[in-house]
Amino acid sequence: MSTKEVAIYFRDNPIPMIVYDRESRAILESNKAARRLYEYSRTEMNTIKLNDIWTREQVPLYIKDYETYTGDNGSIEIAIHRKKNGETFYARIMENEVTDHNENSRLAVIQDITKQIKIEEKLEEEQHLFQVLTYNLPGTFYILDQTGKMLRWNRELETITEYSHDEIGEMNCLDFFEGTERERVFEAVKKAVTEGAVELEAILKTKTGKEVPFYYKAMRVILDDEPHIVGIGIDSSLIKEAEKENRILLSEIHHRVKNNLAVISGLLELQAAEIDDREIRSELNDCQSRVQSIALIHELLYETKSFSQVNFKKNIQELVQYIRHSHHTEKDINVHYDLDYVELSMNQAIPCTLIINELITNIYKHAFPQQDHGNVNILLKEDQNSHEVKILISDNGIGLPENFSIHQTDSLGLKLIEVLSMQLEADLQYQSNNGASFELTFRKSDNSSPGSEVLP
């Protein structure tokens, strides 16, 4: 390039450029963009050398490179340069000879690629993290193309299948299965590609012929504009073993909670027996009844080996029987049941049980002061479409006090009923007509978990 051509090329060019002498490494000329990049004035730029824009760590390396320079035009390199204020950046440098300065002069076109390098470094870090995480997952991890060919997998897949990395690289996922299992996996691959996701349990056959039950979950992703399948696999026998251990553990927890509550109930009973004040003794007996009603739920869960779902029909019957025996009344109170089989989660069963405990206890204590006989009706219904649960408790006793309001009462039991109804997000209705009736309506929660299943 001639000096004139260089001058035109320099003029107002937005790309930073410098002309320097190879022997002395002095900067002979620079354009505005270069001075803006390095933050030097023109005068300053003309008095510094390349050493001043190289980082100190790289100066010896650059000098060595320049001593072995072959004079090739169009050479490109990536280097770390330093600005006047000491800030460093990644520079992409393309060099060419210029003839009109001197035989050692070179033109360097410089591009700040710091952002690009940082992005690439971040991507490399994320790729490394992804590889470390996936390669060391406790279950199998895999990426397939849309035909099922193995593209990427983790170490666990090699361990389980007993195939080497090179062997798996030549395989299709179907090669791990035989017979009808192979056909099912083939259909699962097609479903993942067409529908986006699939779950499957299948028997994997290892290189040595061992059969391993596996649970697979996979989904479609788009990579390089093509559908691929990303998924995981877990040994089904390990899942079942873990579930069994969890069931045993939770069953033991229910048993211990029930026993601890029984101890608390017994202490309250002993304390009440030593108190002469009838009102205080009655309050302690009520507390004992509330504790016992919660213990009853844990006892039912332990007996049925259920982790979280309560047979609420049986719960009501046993709760009423407990209250009847605890009050030792000589009155002939008949309880009539109209109960559907309804299962409730613990989150709903406990407040419902406490509400029923308060209502039945109040009936035995207050509903029939002048009567030797009485009737109590308890209804439990569930709408199978809306899953709305209704509990209705009524008696033919003296009814509620005139102008009764559950919002304006000093009774702890009635306050509990109001608070627990709000916790259930239930509609609570009550009336006094030839006795008292309370109706509780709420939507059955969908709060279930693996622990809600019954042990075999």
> Three-state DSSP class for 292?
helix
- % of the chain residues with pLDDT over 70: 77
pLDDT at 415: 86
What span, in angstroms and rounded, lies between the C-alpha atoms of 356 and 219?
48
pLDDT at 446: 66
Pair (380, 342) in one structural domain: yes
Residue 5 has pLDDT above 90, yes or no: no
Mean pLDDT of the chain: 82
Residue 127 has pLDDT above 80, yes or no: no
Asked whether residue 12 is domain-assigned, the answer is yes
> Three-state DSSP class for 210?
coil
Q: Phi and psi of 281, rounded to 5°?
A: -60, -40
| β strands within 83-175, DSSP E | 88-97, 105-112, 140-145, 150-153
Pair (215, 349) in one structural domain: no
Number of Cβ atoms within 10 Å of the Cβ of 311: 19
Pair (223, 301) in one structural domain: no
Residue 154 has pLDDT above 70, yes or no: yes
Pair (175, 63) in one structural domain: no
- Go through 105-143 and write b for each residue having 16 or more CB atoms within 10 A of its CB, e for each that does not: bbbbbbeeeeeebeeeeeeeeeeeeeeeebeebebbbbb
Pair (315, 427) in one structural domain: yes
**Do 390 and 368 form a contact (C-beta atoms < 8 A)?**
no
**Do 185 and 204 form a contact (C-beta atoms < 8 A)?**
no
Of the residues 91, 118, 145, the one at which a domain ends: 118
Distance from the Cα of residue 304 to its chain's centroid: 30
pLDDT at 133: 65
Confidence class of residue 198 from pLDDT cuts 50, 70 and 90? very high
Asked whether residue 249 is domain-assigned, the answer is no
Express each pLDDT in 83-117 by its tens digit.
999 999 988 888 888 766 677 888 889 999 999 88
Of 99 and 60, more confident: 99
The domain total for the chain is: 3
pLDDT at 448: 45
Of the residues 118, 146, 177, the one at which a domain ends: 118
Q: Phi and psi of 272, rounded to 5°?
A: -65, -35
Closest among 115, 109, 108 to 90, alpha carbons compared: 115
Domain that includes residue 89, residue range? 3-118
pLDDT at 403: 86
Pair (194, 322) in one structural domain: no
Pair (317, 447) in one structural domain: yes
Amino acid identity of 328? H
Pair (46, 143) in one structural domain: no
Closest among 399, 397, 393 to 377, alpha carbons compared: 393
What span, in angstroms and rounded, lies between the C-alpha atoms of 21 and 103?
9
Pair (220, 295) in one structural domain: no
Phi/psi class of residue 145: alpha, beta or left (left: φ > 0; alpha: ψ in -120 to 50)? beta
Of 136 and 1, more confident: 136
Q: Phi and psi of 297, rounded to 5°?
A: -65, -45
Please give the model's pTM, rounded to 2 decimal places. 0.44
